[in-house]
Structure 1
Amino acid sequence: MGEENWRLMTLCLLTAVVALLMVLSIHLHQDVKYWQHLEEVSEKERAARISWEEYSEKVRKEAASEISEVTRRAGQGSARDCPPCNNRKCPPQEKCRTPSCPKCPSCKSECSPCPTSEVDPKTGFTFKIYIYDLPKEFHSDLKREQKRCVSDQYGTEIRIHEELLKSPLRTLDPDEADFFYIPIYGECYLFRENQRSGRDAMSNTNRWFRKALNIVVKETPYWNRTQGRDHIWTFPGARGPHIFKDWKRNIKKSIFLTPEGDRSLSEQFNTWKDIVIPGLEADEEFWSGKLKRDDSFDRDIFAFFKGTIHNRGGKSYSKGLRIILERLLKSEKDIVFAEQTPDCNRKCYKRMMRRSTFCLCPRGWSPWTLRAYQAMMVGCIPVVMANEIEFPYENSLDWKKLTVKIAEKDVNNTLSILRGIPQATIEEKRREIEKVWRMVAWQKPSKPGDAFHSVMRELEGKKRFMKVSSFTFWN
């Protein structure tokens, strides 16, 4: 009897072991299939991304070609592309005779003369901007409560508004305005709401934007006239218009001023209508050029970076680029690539940057970085590592002459790429930077050639295409 029990127990044990092995085998097979599936999905995503980037580049080139053709036709005075008469008393089908369109028919005799697009000697520009008189809760109250917003890199929402308020570009007559500016400090409001409301901050910010838009739409006739196409919003943060969750439904056709010129995010940034602006560097030593004028220092640092490397987001942050660069460069004696430390304050940071030949600008959570503009203000050559980035003024500045751009896939070759750049090329890039660095500096007060005036010049280009182009988008 004992022997039979022993055999039965042995049989049961063997059965259990076999069953366990079968279960493990099945799970192992499923795991293999799961990881194979993940790899297939990742490969499809990579292929789709490459396909989209190729398509985006094709669209960009086609758009650039079309814009060039519009500009050429306008310069030749093509009647078909002449601007419509801006005089409210003239029939809408009448055209203005302007120096740039000498073949255009003039207004009928019963109409008062049409205004021309000649440069205003007071402003140096050909357009006017009307600023909506929104309640102070949308702008100046926030500035007073949140001092940080004035000097933050997102402070362009405040700086542009204040510059426009005192600019001769401003008009108090909305009927003569080419553009309408909506003064709203969204990033500043969100910063305050994050402190007050925590997880409800974005929802509260969305309602706040809707409240401002409701005033613009219901209390004035100008928004509905063009569905907001000639209205300007400043979105100074990396999230762009997404700070206003309902932006697609409400303001998709408006002009956005934003530092995030990421073409891969086609919905939030449109090269045709939107403008890339430099982030705000409020430190006077940077924007005044004071750090550039003293040439008594040696550039004894070959390449420089101080900033966040190990973020709680792990390798998702900076797509892992900063972690790779730290590993690659830590043993190079003439290169500084390190986290910020208490023993090197802002004064130390500026001193090291101005001693450097190259300033490394790897992407963070998003492609753009204030570091590239700081570098230009001290005469350091920005080394950009962000595939999707678009810089300000790309229609007029050749950024290849001002920077070194390293594709994200080539980050492991950073050292050999930089070491291989001839000294003559380095000197040439410095000379090019010297010509244009003020275009990324928000000087105070604003001066011709600085960031504010350069952004306004970009806006003037939008006006030209809006008024001159035969594209139905602007009609």
Structure 2
Amino acid sequence: MSLDIKRSSINKTKKKTGFIVKMQLNNNNNRGGNNKTNLFFIFFRNYYRWVIWLFLSLYFFTSYFAGDQSSPSTTTTTTTSLLSNHQTSSSLPSRALIESSAILKPGGPFSGMKIYVYDLPARFNVDWVTASDRCASHLFAAEVAIHRALLSDSSVRTSDPEEADFFFVPVYVSCNFSTANGFPSLSHARSLISSAVDFLSDRYPFWNRTRGSDHVFVASHDFGACFHAMEDMAIEEGIPEFMKNSIILQTFGVNYKHPCQEAEHVVIPPYIPPESVQRAIDRAPANGRRDIWAFFRGKMEVNPKNISGRFYSKGVRTAILKKYGGRRRFYLNRHRFAGYRSEIVRSVFCLCPLGWAPWSPRLVESAVLGCVSVVIADGIKLPFSETVRWSEISLTVAEKDVKNLRKILERVAATNLSVIQRNLREPAFKRALLYNVPMMEGDATWHILEALRRKLDRSYRRSSVLSQ
């Protein structure tokens, strides 16, 4: 029915239009020279609605495209304004959503991460450094260096614990790590850290609310958070129960299941004083010549000492000494020498066999002084292995293959030695393995913060925002 009505209407319109045009034409014939004017008038009179509609369409069409081009900047300005005000404007109804977006979209190198450094009584840290200068400079001194670097970094450190993602617990357990005869002893470590945790639990709410899962400790000695220098004893005692929920920054790391890494952890480099590295570089031969082919200086037993069934270095260092001691191309020395880094800077290959633990300070010393580290420690996990490409700056030799060490090194020297040496000259590698105070972009503390950034799911503050 509606179709018939529309058709009828259309027909009537056509008839009416035809009549008007006809009448106007007749009048035009009578008027002579006004034909063009009258035709325009007739056209406009009958089609003015279409003309207006055409102009309106063109207007809206061009306005749409003009607005579309400017919309990104408008959106960006609005979003930036909201994000910059979300901390001070608690009345915003979408505050939780805005903060969540800021978390998912990093706003800086560490996603706005904040660390609160506990101000513990001096008996937990400062007193140890005061009692011994060696405390801040030996291979276990990462615990001191990290603490100092965090205190000096205003971009990450916060003085307000309520806005902290992580809490750093500065307890120095390695300053007095050895007895009078030099034998490693960490018997005081557990009680010292336990006392610090009791102190925090009594005076702050932050440890208790997460059972320490957002708290960070440093364990920069042999078997890390197990706090023992002998592996079998370390395994037997394990990580203290009160630390198992926390994050441990430790020099110990292996690529297999081990009780001493059964806590959230980051494998960090041992401490090498940056100034000692620079002194060795300054004393290097002016022509850059490396006249020592394979180098090692350190403890090597002619006959391994059997301490309750434990052989030092699993006998690896003894095997190296017996096989290559006195060989022309191997510079092996069992005696201490304070300036041994001046020998590293002259060496092509630097042997890094395990000691009591798999890791060794030679890993860092060799790399930063341009010597190719020859890692001989089965299953070792190297520091910052997620970001430092160790395979490009070092060699790995299985403990059982030390008898073939000369052939292995000769093969490397004949193939890709120049590539490895070129990689070692990249400043980024050296920077990543050294601690600086204040912290430098890309240095060891910087990489620790980057590793913590990947663990922001442990942040109580952020999880609370997301749950709102």
> Per-residue deviation at 1:444?
4.3
C-alpha deviation, 1:263, in angstroms: 3.8
Contact 1:281–1:287 under 8 Å retained in 2: no
> Is structure 2 residue 447 aligned with structure 1 residue 428?
no
Alignment partner, residue 292 of structure 2: 301
Q: Contact between 1:361 and 1:383, CA under 8 Å: does it hold in 2?
A: yes
SS of the aligned residue for 2:174 comes to: helix
Map of 2:456 onto structure 1: 463
Does residue 313 of structure 2 align to residue 318 of structure 1?
yes
Matches within 5 A, 1:15-54: none
Q: Deviations over 1:312-359 (max 9, x none)?
A: 448811111111111221242122022125xxx333x22321111100
The 1:387–1:204 alpha-carbon spacing in structure 2 relative to 1, beyond 3 Å, is closer
State the Cα deviation string for residues 252-290 of structure 1 (Å, max 9, x = none). Answer: 01100011112445222158x311111111251315783
Question: Aligned to 2:342, which of 345, 351, 356?
Answer: 351
Instruction: Confirm or deny: 8 A CA contact 1:439 1:449 kept in the other structure.
Output: yes
Match of 1:286 in 2: 277
Q: Please say if 1:173 is aligned against 2:160.
A: yes
Work out the CA distance in 2 between the residues paired with 1:301 and 1:289: 15
Rounded Cα–Cα distance in structure 2 between residues aligned with 1:448 and 1:420? 37
Q: Pick the aligned partner of 2:200 from 202, 213, 216.
A: 216
- Give the Cα separation in 2 of the matches to 1:260 and 1:286: 23
User: Is the counterpart of residue 162 in structure 1 residue 148 in structure 2?
Assistant: yes
Corresponding residue for residue 408 of structure 2: 417
SS of the equivalent of 2:150 reads helix
Query: Is residue 2:252 matched to residue 1:260?
Result: yes
Deviation at 1:432, TM superposition (A): 1.7
The one-letter code matched in structure 2 to 1:114 is E
Deviations 1:212-240 (A, max 9, x none): 11112232111122221111000010131
CA distance in structure 2 between the aligned counterparts of 1:110 and 1:419, rounded to whole angstroms: 63
User: How many angstroms does 1:159 deviate by?
Assistant: 0.8
- 8 Å CA contact retained: 1:304, 1:353: yes
- CA drift at 1:293: 7.8
Contact 2:370 2:421 in 1 (8 A): yes
Does 2:148 match 1:183?
no
SS of 1:114 mapped into structure 2: helix
The alignment of Structure 1 onto Structure 2 pairs a total of residues equal to 360
Aligned to 2:69: none
- Offset at residue 401 of structure 1 (A): 1.2
Deviation at residue 360 of structure 1 after TM alignment = 0.5
1:114 matched to 2:99: yes
Calculate the TM-score normalised by the size of structure 2: 0.69
- C-alpha separation between the residues in 2 aligned to 1:130 and 1:219? 15
Secondary structure of the equivalent of 2:374? strand
Matches within 5 A, 1:389-400: 389-400=380-391
Query: In structure 1, what is the Cα distance between the partners aligned to 2:435 and 2:94?
Result: 46
TM-score by structure 1 length? 0.68
In structure 2, the residue corresponding to 1:304 is in which secondary structure? Answer: strand
Q: Is the 8 A contact 1:216 1:223 kept in 2?
A: yes
Equivalent residue for 1:134? 120
SS of the residue 1:172 aligns to: coil
Structure-1 separation of matches of 2:159 and 2:402: 52
Alpha-carbon deviation of 1:246? 7.8
State the distance in 1 between where 2:280 and 2:107 align.
Answer: 29
CA distance in 2, matches of 1:275, 1:180: 15
Q: Of residues 203, 209, 214 in structure 2, which corresponds to 1:225?
A: 209
Classify the secondary structure of the residue corresponding to 1:159.
helix
Give the Å deviation of 1:177.
0.7
Show CA shifts across 1:16-52 (max 9, x none): xxxxxxxxxxxxxxxxxxxxxxxxxxxxxxxxxxxxx
C-alpha distance 109-265 of structure 1, shift in aligned 2 (>3 A): closer
Q: Which has the larger Rg?
A: 2
Hey, what does 1:60 align to over in structure 2?
Answer: none
Higher relative contact order (CA 8 A, sep 6+): 2
Q: Secondary structure at the match of 2:249?
A: strand
1:235 aligns with 2:219: yes
Q: Contact conserved, 1:260 with 1:368, CA < 8 A, in 2?
A: yes
Deviations 1:370-399 (A, max 9, x none): 011101111000000001211111112221
SS state at 2:260 partner:
coil
SS at match of 2:416: helix
Q: Which runs of 5+ in 1 are unaligned?
A: 1-85, 91-106, 471-475
Find the residue that maps to 2:331 and give its secondary structure. strand
Rounded to whole Å, the distance in 2 between the matches of 1:189 and 1:216 is 23
**Residue 116 of structure 2: SS of its match in structure 1?**
strand
Cα deviation 1:84-133 (Å, max 9, x = unaligned): xx98999xxxxxxxxxxxxxxxx844769527236566x76531100112
How far is 1:304 from its partner? 0.4
Secondary structure at 2:259's aligned position in 1? coil
Deviations 1:419-454 (A, max 9, x none): 111445111111222221211122344321221212
Q: Which of 447, 453, 456 is equivalent to 1:454?
A: 447
CA RMSD in angstroms, aligned pairs only: 3.4
Q: Where does the alignment leave 5 or more consecutive residues of structure 2 unmatched? A: 1-85, 229-236, 464-468
Distance in 1 (alpha carbons) for counterparts of 2:160 and 2:370: 43
Which letter maps to 1:307? G
